[in-house]
């Protein structure tokens, strides 16, 4: 992420927008961080090391297949900033039809 365009690309992926001055700061910060990380890590050979996705060797943690009561709808929608007839709502999406 070296320039404005790279920042914009990632920002679009994570749905964030930044002012020009923020973009400048981000470029600076990110450059510093990635420089630091690369300096530290690039000299370490990890060619034959398996990535560690989980700390412990536990596997097969499952739930039984039975249904229980769901949250009541009022509770589910309680914190929704906008709701309509028992639904959550977003501005109308046009491109579907």
Site residues, other proteins (CB under 8 A): 1, 7, 9-18, 22, 25-26, 29-30, 32-34, 36-37, 40-41, 44, 46, 49-56, 58-68, 70-71, 73, 75-82, 84-93, 95-97
The 10 Å Cβ neighbour count of residue 30 is 15
Cβ at position 20, least distance to other proteins in Å:
14
Count the Cβ atoms, other than its own, within 10 Å of residue 83: 14
- Residue 86's region, left for phi above 0, alpha for psi from -120 to 50, else beta, is left
The CB-of-3 to other proteins minimum distance in angstroms stands at 13
């Amino acid at each position: 992420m070296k320039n404005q365009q790279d920042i914009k690309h990632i920002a679009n992926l994570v749905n964030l927008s930044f002012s020009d001055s923020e973009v400048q700061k981000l470029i600076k910060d990110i450059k510093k961080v990635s420089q630091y990380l690369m300096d530290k890590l690039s000299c370490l050979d990890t060619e034959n090391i398996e990535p560690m996705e989980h700390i412990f060797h536990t596997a097969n943690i499952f739930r039984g297949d039975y249904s229980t009561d769901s949250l009541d709808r009022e509770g589910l929608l309680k914190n929704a900033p906008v709701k309509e007839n028992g639904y959550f709502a977003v501005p109308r999406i046009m491109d579907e039809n």
